[in-house]
Amino acid sequence: MALVEPALATLAPGGQRAAAGSGPEAAAAQQGSAASLAAARMGYLHCGPSGAGHFVKMVHNGIEYGLMAAYAEGLNLLAHADAGLTAGAADAETAPLSHPQFFQYQLDLAAITEVWRHGSIISSRLLDLTAGALADDGKLERFAGHVSDSGEGRWTVEAAIEVGVPAAVLSAALYARFESRGRAEFANKVLSAMRLGFGGHIERSA
C-alpha cells in the first residue's frame, strides 16, 4: 500500500499530499496510513483485504438508489401539490381529496431544488444534478421515466439477505426501478380483475 499511496493521494479529490507538505493529513499520508481518517478526508481509503473496497463501493451505490428514490418521491409529491385545483371525479371508484383547499400550490421545482442546495440538510451531489436538470427543463420532458439498474442495488439487497440485515429502503428503491420499466403491469391487471370480480368495480383510465 505504501508503494501506491503517493499516487492515490495525488489523484484523490482532496489532493492534500500533492498540495501541502505539512499538517495532519500530510503527516498521516507520509506514514503510509491509508486506512485512516486522514486518508479518507483526502478522498481515498484502504478498506481491508481483497474485495473489501468493492464491497464498500457496492453498498455505496445501493445507498445511492435509496437517496435517488427519496428525492424522486418528494419532488413528485411537490409536482402534484396542485391536485386541489382540478375537480376530480366523485364516484365509488375514486377517493376524493379530503381537503382540496390544502393542495392548490403550483410550485417551481427548479427554484425549490436550487434553494435546497444552499444550507439544506438534504443537500448533496445528487441534488445538485437534479437542480441542474430541472433548471434546463422543469417538466423533464425528454425523459420517459424508465429507470435502469446496473446491478449494484441488486447485489446490495442480496448481501443484506445473506447476512440477515434489514434493508427496506434500498429494496424498495430497487423494486421501484423495476416498476418504472413496466414490470408491474400484469400485477396491476390482476388487481383490476379481482376488484371487478368481488365488487363489480369498473377500471377507470388514469
Let me know if 76 is exposed, middle or buried by CB neighbors in 10 A (0-12, 13-18, 19+).
exposed
Question: Is residue 64 annotated as part of the catalytic site, yes or no?
Answer: yes
Closest C-alpha to 41, from 14, 64, 5: 14
Per residue in 143-170, pLDDT tens? 999 999 999 999 999 999 999 999 999 9
Active-site residue, selected from the candidate residues 5, 25, 64, 152:
64
Cβ-Cβ contacts under 8 Å for 137 (sequence gap 6 or more):
none
Decide if 57 is catalytic.
Answer: yes
Q: List the catalytic residue out of 57, 73, 158, 185.
A: 57
Dihedral over alpha carbons 137, 114, 179, 185 (to 10 degrees): -50
- Crossing angle of helices 152-163 and 52-79, in 10° steps, is 110
Tens digit of each residue's pLDDT (9 = 90 or more) over 184-194: 999 999 999 99
CA 25 to chain centre: 31
120 compared with 32, residue with greater pLDDT: 120
Q: Could you tell me the pLDDT band of residue 31, with boundaries at 50, 70 and 90?
A: low
How many residues would you count in the chain? 206
Distances (CA, A) of 175 to 31, 170, 178: 45, 9, 5
Residue 170: what residue type?
Answer: L
Instruction: Examine the pLDDT at 32 and tell me if it is beyond 50.
Output: no
Q: How far apart are the first and last CA of the chain?
A: 58
Is pLDDT at 181 greater than 60 in this prediction? yes
Per-residue CA distances from 6 to 25, 31, 38, 45, 141 (Å)? 13, 11, 14, 13, 46
- Decide if 88 contacts 97 (C-beta within 8 A): yes
Q: Is the pTM of this model over 0.95?
A: no
Q: Which of 132, 137, 144, 125 is nearest to 64 (CA)?
A: 125
**Are 9 and 18 spatial neighbours (Cβ–Cβ below 8 Å)?**
yes
C-alpha cell at 85: 385545483
DSSP-assigned letter for residue 94: B
